[in-house]
Amino acid sequence: MMERRLAMSRLVPLVLVLIGVATIAAAAPVGPISGTAQAETTLNITEFPLPSPNNSPDGGIAVGPDGNLWFTSGLNEIGRLTPSGVVTEFEIPTTVADPYAITAGPDGNLWFTESNPNHDPGNIGRITPSGQITEFPVSTTAFMGGSNILGIAAGSDGNLWFTIREANKIGRITPSGVVTEFPLPTPTNYPQSIAAGPDGNLWFTEDEPDLTGMIGRITTSGVITQFLIPGSFAEPGDITAGPDGNMWFTDQGTNSIGRITPDGDITEFAIPVANAQPAAITAGPDGNLWFTEFNPSLTPGTQIGRITPSGDITEFLLPAGINADGGITTGPDGNIWFTESYDNGAGNKIGRINLSAADPTQASVSCSPDPVAAGTASTCTATVTDTAFRPVTPTGTVSFSSTGPGSFSGGGSCVLSGSGPSASCQVTYTQAVTGEPTVSVGYGGDAQHLPITGTAALTVYQPLKGNSTCTGLYGGTGQNVTVPAGATCTLIAGTVVTGHVTDDGTLTVSGVTIDGNLQAGNAGPLTVSGSSTVIGGNLQVQGGGPVTINGITIGGNLQVQQLASSTSQNLICGVQLNGNLQWQDNAAPVVIGGLGCAGNSVGGNLQVQDNTMPSGYVRPAAIIEDNTVQGNLQSQNNTPAAFVSGNTVSGKTQTS
């Protein structure tokens, strides 16, 4: 599962400079509308669902300086996705900001636009790789109220450049937040997307109510040139720099992908499928350009397109449930990443096109029995799964290794066998000494699958036998258990002690049944926890510490006395106790219910007295809160005084 963090700051002050700029209009040469259709091919796609429902990430996506993917979200958030698929979402301070485009800035941060046309002024946002968001207002005059800020790109001058659709302007913002605006010479054009060109200028798309679209170029000094797209009904959308030194753009109006040279020569390449509605475009790592489409008439749904620098187009029809109608970019891993909007239960994901010939895989390993007795074999199963959209059964050999001193059967390798997306095989692992080794599996891949590794932890314990001295991991069934001074003992879950446990060292108990008493004297840390841990007799602690007793059942009494001087907090939480609870003559503080520690159920009396904290300790010697006590509650002679509140007591309550 993933985490959601709130943005932490909002900076308002900035300097706004409005400059009138002389412009040079240039007519674009007429280029042929052409396009060569290639046969439809399948794509190797992996999808990463977003943690927030109905997120609808239909805007921009970009690679950050931290090597992660960053995207804008319909839930008023900026998202971060690691190449391995871990998603973190950061909320934007301004409500209903409608984040749209995002790009990596020259300052090591990400910058994004807020497109809500009802916000006046609009904002440019900045988010650090750790998720801290700052917003900079853009105070501009628009035709219809708000700014409607759309595209954004980093310029060769170390600034960020953006489009202000409703105001008919190009904006520039420095990393410190100083904004300059440059009006377009044509007063009715709407600038859309913007990208840095190989010539050091910024290139942007313009649509117009009469569908006489243009491509604009602005120098870093603010000089604007516009190039009219030939033909009728041009409606350019996204734009990007291509691998051939030209700029490439999508054109929904003419159902084409366009190319413009640095000199302004425009050629458009018709998309074979009618009404494809090309949206975003990016330069791919394979020397081609990739673009998203959304054609609602297609069955089952959207398409991804690829165009070579010479204009050959291949379209990939996507299966139902993949709404590839938003942003697209080349990731740090050399694959193509795209956003999927939410629509009728589908989408709400980030998709990855795996351009390598091999499918991505996942590997897992599990051992049984786990825990396993020392000297006894545990069967370890490796499973390799093809995670591509159309998976093929993995083949080949996997190898096993361990951080422990044990050994594997079969030389530590086995041959995969299976059907569908997964294949598995098994070996046995035997370790003669106790420990918690990590078992690893490595898959070298095959002609269709990428290599992958997986790991799992294994617990190897020493079986109890009659009366046992515990100096490591122990389990099974025994009579009495002794932990020597200086030793560390862990009784693993499922252990049964028919007699008593005597602890003079460091003891950890979880999910254990002790029929008799547990007695710790001058011991190190004592941890007894787990709802399935049952002590039939008494739990007695005298000296040592600290003590954590959490969620267990005690048939007798719980008594803690003479803990060593310490400011470390001791905890008694959520204990079901049939007898009395006594905390006396200790020199260390305790929480007995409260402060996030569950209250206890005490069948007898609860007594906290004669506890004196170390010099300089000013907090209560004990916090006694939210407990249910069938007998009396007594808190007396504690220095500092105990805090007692919210307890349900059937008998008397005495405090001093």
| The pLDDT value given to residue 91 | 92
- How many angstroms separate the CA atoms of 627 and 642, rounded? 14
| The pLDDT value given to residue 321 | 72
| The pLDDT value given to residue 121 | 66
- Residue 18 reports pLDDT greater than 50: no
Nearest 5°: the CA angle 53, 58, 62 is 110
Tokens of residue 471, six digits: 């100096």
Q: Each residue of 247-264: b (16+ CB within 10 Å) or e?
A: bbbbbbbbbbbbbbbeeb
- How many angstroms separate the CA atoms of 304 and 488, rounded? 59
Q: What confidence category does residue 7 fall into, taking pLDDT thresholds of 50, 70 and 90?
A: very low
- Residue 513 reports pLDDT greater than 80: yes
- How many angstroms separate the CA atoms of 540 and 527, rounded? 13
Percent pLDDT > 90 in the chain is 70
Strand 378-386 versus strand 467-469 pairing type: unpaired
Q: What confidence category does residue 489 fall into, taking pLDDT thresholds of 50, 70 and 90?
A: very high
- How many angstroms separate the CA atoms of 10 and 18, rounded? 23
Domain 361-460 indexed as CATH 2.60.40.10: yes
Calculate the CA 284 to chain-centre distance: 25
C-alpha pair distances (Å), 474 with each of 152, 429, 464, 497, 564: 61, 19, 6, 11, 28
- Residue 328 reports pLDDT greater than 50: yes
Cβ atoms of 608 and 622 closer than 8 Å: yes
SS3 63: strand
- How many angstroms separate the CA atoms of 427 and 450, rounded? 22
Closest to 428 in 3D by CA, of 363, 385, 368, 476: 368
- Residue 54 reports pLDDT greater than 80: no
- How many angstroms separate the CA atoms of 559 and 566, rounded? 18
- Residue 441 reports pLDDT greater than 60: yes
- What is the average pLDDT across 128-139? 92
| Structure confidence by residue, pLDDT tens digits, 556-614 | 999 999 999 999 999 999 999 999 999 999 999 999 999 899 999 999 999 999 999 99
Beta strands in 208-319 (DSSP E): 214-218, 224-228, 236-241, 247-251, 256-260, 266-270, 278-283, 289-293, 303-307, 312-317
| Structure confidence by residue, pLDDT tens digits, 86-95 | 999 999 998 8
Domain ranges of the chain: 361-460, 461-655
| The pLDDT value given to residue 211 | 67
- Residue 302 reports pLDDT greater than 80: no
Tokens of residue 593, six digits: 């219910």
Between residues 25 and 492, the one the model is more confident about: 492
SS3 453: strand
| The pLDDT value given to residue 73 | 86
- Residue 212 reports pLDDT greater than 50: yes
Closest to 648 in 3D by CA, of 631, 590, 635: 631
- Mean residue pLDDT of the chain comes to 88
C-alpha gyration radius of the chain:
34
Q: What confidence category does residue 49 fall into, taking pLDDT thresholds of 50, 70 and 90?
A: confident
**Cβ-based neighbour number of residue 327 at 10 Å:** 26
| The pLDDT value given to residue 525 | 93
| The pLDDT value given to residue 120 | 62
- What is the average pLDDT across 71-89? 89
- Residue 41 reports pLDDT greater than 80: no
Query: DSSP label at 129?
Result: T
- How many angstroms separate the CA atoms of 76 and 204, rounded? 25
Between residues 345 and 537, the one the model is more confident about: 537
- How many angstroms separate the CA atoms of 90 and 639, rounded? 46
| Amino acid in position 64 | G
Tokens of residue 55, six digits: 């997120």
Tokens of residue 597, six digits: 């520690």
